[in-house]
Amino acid sequence: MLMRTIIYTGKGGVGKTSVAAATAKRAAKMGYRTVIMSVDTAHSLSDSLDHELSAEIQHVDKNLDALELDIVHEMRTKWSSISEYISAFMLSQGVDDISAEEMAILPGMEMAAALFYVLQFKDSEEYDVVIIDTAPTGETLRLMSFPDVSNWYIEKIYGMFKKIISVARMTVGKLMDMPLPSKDVMKTIEEIKHNMERVKEVLEDPENTTIRLVLNPERMPINETMRAYSYLCLYNKTVECLIVNKVLPPNADGEFLGMKLKEQEEYMELIHHAFDPLKIMYAQQFPTEVRGSDKLDMLADEIFGKTDPIEVYATSSPMYFETVKGIDRLCIKMPFTSIENIELFKIGDDSLVIQMGGQKRKITLPRTLHDAEMLGAEFDDGKLIIKFKRPKNK
């Protein structure tokens, strides 16, 4: 089977890590070779699994491995040439040793490290299922958008290093007060760029890579989930289902719990109204902490029952091109927003920038549309439709 990747995200405190761990445990129990990876700097996966984890892959149970990402460890082991060079460069400019090591962690390297693990698992064919327990929603959006923005970082870094080498050639025979990037450094940067292109393909494969949004039936998590859903569609990532966690049982009694139950019932109606026809699953509020194998099995029973936890519930890509009556159209699923909240910019002949709220995405247009005129945009049935007209000779 092709490797299945499931990414869990949601507002902090909704029980995302418990749900991710329960999914991993159930998948392993059903015979799938499973690995779960935490990319949240405030790791709690060890607590959920009740098993000490580290930056190295640990065997947790039959068919189940796990790790908690540590960017310092990744820089030292995977990208040591870049880390050592930048540290040496900072030291040459008078930065102290400890600060130099910290500054060697380039912006976005945490994102790259997490995404490259997905490639590593895919290439090794060691696992059938990869479960990713992400940081709260804002960090997850940065993770999902990183393949699109990484080229900017890479080009800037690559350009800076090339400039240093160029200056060095011009000053042959003179004393240089800075180290030069080695061939290994330049090669590593090229490899990062190549791998990021492959990561983008994996993340945008709706048949095998999907996102599950975890929320509680409360106003703030619902609102944040609405925004996350819209932004993930902008980044062309397939959201396949919602998991509503910590639902009070219908027989909850007592004045306080009765009021809370009534409030939850109202929010459950809102969730259905807002997110239908997206698949929605539920897990009741546990009276005690969800920790350890038995509790995770109970949570998996709540969510999945007897069904397969790695089943793909939706495979439609939120972004696609089509041609209607001679007009080319870029269609992007965008729930919970309106045309007034969207800004569009065409950059040169080949790129389009879409800004929605605090998120911005640059989309490279197909070659056939490089010279096309952008006619405008409209909303139709929850989709943003951007229209293009090619020159007559195209």
* pLDDT, position 218: 94
Looking at residue 81, its amino acid is S
Query: Could you state, in order of their start, the residue ranges of all structural domains in the chain?
Result: 1-317, 319-389
Please enumerate in sequence order all residues whose Cβ is within 8 A of that of 211, keeping only pairs 6 or more positions apart, or say none: 6, 7, 8, 9, 144, 232, 237, 238, 239, 240
Our separate counts of H helices and E strands in the chain read 11, 15
319-389 CATH fold: Immunoglobulin-like (2.60.40)
**What is the spatial distance between Cα 293 and Cα 315, in angstroms, rounded to a whole number?**
31
Angle formed at CA 197 by CA 343 and CA 161, multiple of 5 degrees: 95
Which residue(s) pair with 324 in the sheet?
A: 327
* pLDDT, position 224: 93
* pLDDT, position 170: 53
pLDDT digits (tens, 9 = 90+) for 2-20: 899 999 999 989 999 999 9
Residue 80: pLDDT band with limits 50, 70, 90: low
Residue pair 349/334 in contact (Cβ under 8 Å)? The answer is no
pLDDT digits (tens, 9 = 90+) for 326-342: 999 999 999 898 888 89
Looking at domain 1-317, its CATH architecture is 3-Layer(aba) Sandwich (3.40)
Q: Look at residue 21 and tell me whether its pLDDT is greater than 90.
A: yes
Which residue(s) pair with 244 in the sheet?
A: 215, 282
* pLDDT, position 114: 81
**What is the spatial distance between Cα 14 and Cα 175, in angstroms, rounded to a whole number?**
58
Q: Look at residue 104 and tell me whether its pLDDT is greater than 50.
A: no
**What is the spatial distance between Cα 45 and Cα 42, in angstroms, rounded to a whole number?**
9
Provide the mean pLDDT of the chain: 84
* Strand 58-61 relative to strand 34-38, pairing: unpaired
Please enumerate in sequence order all residues whose Cβ is within 8 A of that of 330, keeping only pairs 6 or more positions apart, or say none: 319, 320, 321, 352, 363, 365, 385, 386, 388
pLDDT digits (tens, 9 = 90+) for 265-310: 999 999 999 999 999 999 998 888 899 999 999 999 999 999 999 9
**What is the spatial distance between Cα 215 and Cα 119, in angstroms, rounded to a whole number?**
28
